[in-house]
Amino acid sequence: MSTAAGSTRPDRAAETRQVIMAAAERLFAEHGLSAVSSRQIAEAAGQRNVTAVSYHFGSRPGLVRALMARHGEQVDVLRERHLRTAAGSTDVRDWVDCLVRPTSEHLAALGTPSWHARCAAQVMTDPTLRVLVIDEALTRPPLTRTLEGLHRCLAHLPSQVLAERGDMARQLIVHTCAERERALAEGTAPPHTSWERTAGSLTDALVGLFTAPVS
Amino acid sequence: MSTAAGSTRPDRAAETRQVIMAAAERLFAEHGLSAVSSRQIAEAAGQRNVTAVSYHFGSRPGLVRALMARHGEQVDVLRERHLRTAAGSTDVRDWVDCLVRPTSEHLAALGTPSWHARCAAQVMTDPTLRVLVIDEALTRPPLTRTLEGLHRCLAHLPSQVLAERGDMARQLIVHTCAERERALAEGTAPPHTSWERTAGSLTDALVGLFTAPVS
DNA sequence: ACTGGCCTAAGTCAATCGACTGAATTACTG
DNA sequence: CAGTAATTCAGTCGATTGACTTAGGCCAGT
């Protein structure tokens, strides 16, 4: 029987993948995306083989994609829950909550220090990896449904303005969370800082951003 | 006489510095900060010596600092002008204009394609270069005066909220301009896109962000 | 118990990196 | 015209990188 007792055998690779991803995420957040070599990742993951990354993920972009996909799935679960409570609402704030809260809750669940927010910010700014992740993110059903709900509340805005403000919201969420994560990890955060509070500030700001009059 | 006729002699180094900075900026924007080596920069600048960067700028961080400082000075000039017209105003929009317009005007003056906005976004996200540039930027008098003016309009907000929203504004301006610059350079921008329009959208959004009610 | 397939370890290769050294070129200065 | 300091060029060094190949270890099913 291979019931409990930790893991059945074929999990060894999956475990190694997890270890590598955790190490990569930390190094990416600390030193920047392209400043970290595959060797360093493998070494930090306790793998004495320098080919570990390319074996398990094919390439560095493959690793990044796996990294983002894993968090994306977990955020999706949380977003589904928020979507159920926001269903049918015509209040912008409810839909902004669906945008912000899943991310902040996921980061809170990761504990401190976490690295994903900073890693995601790195990926978003990287000229080559940007596209790879953006269109993958935009095809996630819970996110597109959130945007649809938001658009229904803001139907009075020109579509181009809506698109612009959506982009701004994305930038704002990603980079604000990254900065907050760094402050939390470095211990330089102002008192009373928490992911809960961050989500609140972000939501307030985004509601203002989306409902601002168009000149 | 060495009046006209281009340049007096000691300018040779200054000229080379400019060429190197232009090449570096382009490569940084296209491939990411740490993905570009000093050698590649020197080569792209037409320098056959691989030591050109370290000779003229001491190090790679030195080059980045010089890059940011040069644009910072030019933006400062534009910001001074806006500050004169906004002086004494109690309208948030006037001060947001002082925040946004100098940047957009500077980018517009650079022509298309430009690379500075994307380069700046890279620097802002880099774990090591971030601090190097942020505190230098925050010590620029025209910027601090703008923030003071903004704070006077928003005195009713708790100081921590003010600080948070200031950070968000910074992120928003830098990354929105970077994304717009990329769209313009790649020709994938929607019609009617211009720095003028970008500034307008950004200003609307930021006014909404700053004046949003605190929950 | 054996065997076959998945996973990890170990070693190698050319290419490239940053830093360093010294010589050649340049254009002002006396 | 020669001297001088600044700038550019050319070549080298050890270290590191990604990609590749081969050998070893481990578990599952039979």
Whether residues A74 and A116 fall in one domain: yes
Mark which of B58, B90, B105 sits at the end of a domain: B58
Whether residues B99 and B16 fall in one domain: no
pLDDT tens digits for B11-56? 777 888 999 999 999 999 999 999 999 999 999 999 988 999 999 9
Peptide bond into B61 cis (omega under 30): no
Q: What is the pLDDT of residue B2?
A: 34
Whether residues B160 and B119 fall in one domain: yes
CATH code, domain with B17: 1.10.10
> With 50 as the cut, is the pLDDT of residue A3 above it?
no
Q: How far apart are CA B42 and CA B24, in angstroms?
A: 8
Whether residues B36 and B73 fall in one domain: no
Mark which of A10, A41, A58 sits at the end of a domain: A58
Confidence (pTM)? 0.92
Question: What is the percent of chain A where pLDDT is above 70?
Answer: 95
> With 90 as the cut, is the pLDDT of residue B1 above it?
no
Whether residues A136 and A171 fall in one domain: yes
Confidence of residue A10 (pLDDT cuts 50, 70, 90): low
Tokens 């994560």 map to which residue? Answer: A181
Total domains, chain A: 2
Residue whose C-alpha is closest to residue B133's, from B124, B142, B146, B125: B124
Average pLDDT over residues B102-124: 96
Whether residues A49 and A124 fall in one domain: no
What number of other Cβ atoms are within 10 A of residue B73's Cβ? 10
Nucleotides of chain C in contact with protein CB (under 7 A) are 6-12, 16-22, 27-28
Q: What is the pLDDT of residue A25?
A: 96
pLDDT tens digits for A117-150? 999 999 999 999 999 888 888 899 999 999 999 9
DSSP secondary structure of A106-170: HHHHH-SS--HHHHHHHHHH-TTHHHHHHHHHHT-HHHHHHHHHHHHHTTTS-HHHHHHHHHHHH
Whether residues B128 and B169 fall in one domain: yes
Cα dihedral A128/A131/A132/A138 (nearest 10): 160
For residue B215, give how far its alpha carbon lies from the nearest alpha carbon of chain A (Å): 7
Question: Considering Cα of B21, then B24, then B28, then B30, what sign does the dihedral take?
Answer: positive
Q: What is the pLDDT of residue B15?
A: 85
Mark which of A10, A42, A58 sits at the end of a domain: A58
Give the domain range for residue B21. Answer: 1-58
Whether residues B68 and B54 fall in one domain: no
The answer to whether the Cβ–Cβ distance between B175 and A125 falls below 8 Å is yes
Whether residues A139 and A180 fall in one domain: yes
Partner B contacted by A201 (CB < 8 A): yes
Whether residues B47 and B88 fall in one domain: no
Confidence of residue B10 (pLDDT cuts 50, 70, 90): low
Whether residues B79 and B158 fall in one domain: yes
How distant is the alpha carbon of residue B104 from its chain centre?
Answer: 9
Contact B2, B8 (CB under 8 A): yes
Whether residues B101 and B203 fall in one domain: yes
Which nucleotide across the nucleic acid strands is nearest to A46, CA versus C1'? C8
